[in-house]
Structures are given as structure tokens and as C-alpha cells.
């Protein structure tokens, strides 16, 4: 039982430094060569003790990736799906992003991209901006109205 307590204590310290999801801590426990019989029990303990909360993780992840990385909702959702976060939790996290701020950020990114492009061909401009914005995870229904307004 000492090996279990040691692994649990290490996992608690890790979880107390940042938000993590179940997939993250499972990966860490495996990297630490934790006895596979203990992993599910450790995760259950971490959830019971509120060290891990999938919803709290998703909300923090979405907010941080939008605010600091300027990611769009599609890219955020993709990464949360890869972390095995349930779809209803992902939707809640995405809904938590302020629509006005989201559109302002898209506008700012499009304007910045436009300044850096060296062509006057509107079709090439639209394609390059569309490509850039979709790679950041922004939806076409957000991108097109801004592009159409700018490139009248």
C-alpha cells in the first residue's frame, strides 16, 4: 500500500500545480511506471478529492487557448475531444466564450493578416485569410461576414 500512497501523493502534487484532465494524469502515471492496478484507484481518488474535474479543466483550457493563443472554437473543441472530454462539457466550455470578444478577436486576426499580405488580388487575399483563420479554428460563418465587410 505504500507504493499506492506514494503514487497518489505524487499525482496530487502534480494536479495541484495546474488543471489536468483524466487523460493527462493517466499519461503521467504511466510515465512514472505506476503499477497499472493502482491507476484507476488513483484517478478515482483524485476526482473524489477534486484534484481533477473535467468540466473545470475544459473551461480553463477553452478560456486560456482563446485568450492567449487566439484559437477558434473548432480548434479548441478538437483538442478537448483528443483529451477525451465529453461532448456536453466541451459545448459548455465553448458557450462560455463571450461571442462579442470572439468576433472582435477574429476581426483583429483578419486585420493583422491583411496587413502582412502583399497582394491586391481580392480572391487571393480571401483565400489566404480564410486558410489562416480556419487553421486557427474559426468557423466560416464568423470569417465570411468580416471578410466581405473588409474586402467590399
DSSP state letters, the chain? -HHHHHHHHHHHHHHHHS---HHHHHHHHHHTT--HHHHHHHHHHHHHTTS--HHHHHHHHHHHHHHHH---HHHHHHHHHHTT--HHHHHHHHHTS-HHHHHHHHHHHHHHHHHH-----HHHHHHHHHHHHHHTT--HHHHHHHHHHHT-
Question: Domain check: are 104 and 83 in the same one?
Answer: no
Tally of domains within the chain: 3
Q: Are residues 124 and 103 in the same domain?
A: yes
Distance CA 111, CA 15 (A): 39
* Model pLDDT, residue 1: 67
- Do 42 and 77 lie in one domain? The reply is no
Are 124 and 83 part of one and the same domain?
no
Q: Which of 47, 40, 51 is nearest to 4 (CA)?
A: 40
Q: Please check the confidence at residue 151 and state whether its pLDDT lies above 90.
A: no
Q: Which domain holds residue 144?
A: 99-150
- φ, ψ at 136 (rounded to 5°): -85, -5
Q: Are residues 85 and 60 in the same domain?
A: yes
67, 31: one domain = no
What is the pLDDT at residue 78? 98
**Same domain, residue pair 41 and 70:** no
Task: Give the pLDDT confidence score for residue 122 in this predicted structure.
Answer: 87
Computed over every residue of the chain, the mean pLDDT equals 95
With cut-offs at 50, 70 and 90, classify the pLDDT of residue 140: very high
Q: What are the pLDDT digits (tens) for 84-135? A: 999 999 999 999 999 999 999 999 999 999 999 888 888 899 999 999 999 9
Residues 11 and 35 in one domain: yes
Task: With a cut of 90, say whether residue 25 has pLDDT above it.
Answer: yes
- Banded pLDDT at 138 (limits 50, 70, 90): very high
Amino acid at each position: 500500500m505504500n507504493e499506492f500512497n506514494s503514487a497518489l501523493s505524487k499525482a496530487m502534487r502534480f494536479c495541484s500545480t495546474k488543471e489536468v484532465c483524466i487523460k493527462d494524469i493517466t499519461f503521467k502515471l504511466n510515465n512514472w511506471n505506476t503499477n497499472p492496478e493502482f491507476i484507476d484507484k488513483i484517478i478515482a481518488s483524485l476526482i473524489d478529492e477534486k484534484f481533477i474535474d473535467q468540466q473545470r479543466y475544459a473551461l480553463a483550457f477553452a478560456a486560456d487557448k482563446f485568450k492567449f493563443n487566439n484559437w477558434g472554437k473548432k480548434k479548441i473543441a478538437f483538442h478537448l475531444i483528443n483529451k477525451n472530454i465529453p461532448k456536453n462539457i466541451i459545448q459548455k466550455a465553448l458557450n462560455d466564450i463571450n461571442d462579442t470578444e470572439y468576433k472582435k478577436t477574429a476581426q483583429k486576426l483578419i486585420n493583422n493578416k491583411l496587413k502582412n499580405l502583399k497582394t491586391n488580388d481580392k480572391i487571393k487575399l480571401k483565400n489566404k485569410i480564410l486558410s489562416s483563420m480556419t487553421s486557427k479554428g474559426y468557423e466560416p460563418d464568423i470569417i465570411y461576414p468580416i471578410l466581405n465587410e473588409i474586402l467590399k
